[in-house]
């Protein structure tokens, strides 16, 4: 009898160990060597043009995920779209900066609650370095909670959290720990890869889902050949679960005005991202390389286990 109990416990332990060793691909129902990709459009809500390009890329292209900037001026349009399309994969692009020269925004929370997040004109700082220099972490938490709560109150069902400009991925571990703890509290997966997870300084901050790579074009790619960068990245994608971050938009007056005197991530950049990820060439390349598209909604099912 004792021997039987011992064997049962041993088999259970081995089973748990095997489950723990499963790759993220296997946990999603794919083979261990599968190449899985989220094609993720950032910055929904910032302007009408970005919204419309992203919605069109959902319908006609390979884009299958996006995230929403709650403090930005075109949020209402995104909320209406999200309610009309509840099956879409749309998260919250937690925003603590306002980077454009002439299109600026401030907090969702009352300015009196978060004064350390604001410049002399009452807007968010334009970059992470200035945010980190001035911000109090308690006020960062107030603002992030306000953004999540407002999105939910407007009928958005966030599938994930991520960080605009990466400002929550500071070398100060309090930012990462806040990010991870809010994801756990709200039950919303957070975009975390192994490098980001290493920022956590406290025990218990390892999330149930850690993706492999977060990919995206940079200024050098824009200055040379964006389409070639994306094509080469897809051809060289390794087994694992990855996210490709892009920025959709149309190169029109609205988009040009947003990015005036700002050399990167502007009107031409967004048009090129839209063009590639809605192209037949992109769709054929994904098929040829046996790359399967997955969503944060699918990863969310693992987050809750």
* Helix pair 75-84, 48-60: axis angle to 10 deg: 20
Cα–Cα distance list, 27 to 23, 89, 139, 240, 241 (Å): 6, 19, 37, 11, 11
pLDDT of residue 205: 61
Contact 283, 275 (CB under 8 A): no
List, for residues 179-231, the tens digit of each pLDDT value: 999 999 999 999 999 999 998 865 556 788 999 999 999 999 999 999 999 99
Q: Among 224, 223, 220, 278, which residue's Cα sits nearest to residue 246?
A: 278
Angle between helices 280-288 and 226-235 (to 10 degrees): 20
Is the pLDDT at 1 greater than 60? The verdict is no
Residue 22 φ/ψ, nearest 5 degrees: -65, 140
Question: Given pLDDT bands bounded at 50, 70 and 90, which one contains residue 71?
Answer: very high
3-class DSSP assignment, residue 94: strand
Residue 304 has pLDDT above 80, yes or no: no
Exposure string over 247-261, b if 16+ CB within 10 A, otherwise e: bbbbbeeebebbbee
Residue 168 is predicted with a pLDDT of: 97
Give the C-alpha separation, 213 to 44, whole Å.
Answer: 22
Euclidean distance between CA atoms 41 and 90, whole angstroms: 9
């Amino acid at each position: 009898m004792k021997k039987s109990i011992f064997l049962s416990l041993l088999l259970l332990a081995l089973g748990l160990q095997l489950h723990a060793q499963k790759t993220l691909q296997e946990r999603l129902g794919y083979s261990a060597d599968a190449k899985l990709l989220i094609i993720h459009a950032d910055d929904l809500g910032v302007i009408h043009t970005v919204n419309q390009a992203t919605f069109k890329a959902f319908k006609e292209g390979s884009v299958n995920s996006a995230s929403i900037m709650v403090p930005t001026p075109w949020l209402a349009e995104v909320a209406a779209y999200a309610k009309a399309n509840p099956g879409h994969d749309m998260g919250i692009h937690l925003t603590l900066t306002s980077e454009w020269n002439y299109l600026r925004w401030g907090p969702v929370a009352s300015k009196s609650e978060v004064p350390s997040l604001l410049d002399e004109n009452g807007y968010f700082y334009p970059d992470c370095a200035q945010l980190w220099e001035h911000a109090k972490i308690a006020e960062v938490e107030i603002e992030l909670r306000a953004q999540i709560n407002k999105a939910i109150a407007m009928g958005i069902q966030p599938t994930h959290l991520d960080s605009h400009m990466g400002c929550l991925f500071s070398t100060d571990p309090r930012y990462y720990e806040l990010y991870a703890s809010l994801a756990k509290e709200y039950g919303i997966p957070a975009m975390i890869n192994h490098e980001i997870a290493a920022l956590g300084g406290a025990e218990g901050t390892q999330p149930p889902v850690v993706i492999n790579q977060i990919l995206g074009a940079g200024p050098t790619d824009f200055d040379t050949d964006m389409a070639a960068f994306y094509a080469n990245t897809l051809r060289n994608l390794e087994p694992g679960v990855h996210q490709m971050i892009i920025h959709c938009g149309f190169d029109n007056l609205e988009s040009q005005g947003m990015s005036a005197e700002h050399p990167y991530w502007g009107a031409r950049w967004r048009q090129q991202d839209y063009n590639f990820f809605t192209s037949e060439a992109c769709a054929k390349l994904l098929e040829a390389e046996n790359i399967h598209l997955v969503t944060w909604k699918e990863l969310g099912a693992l987050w809750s286990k």
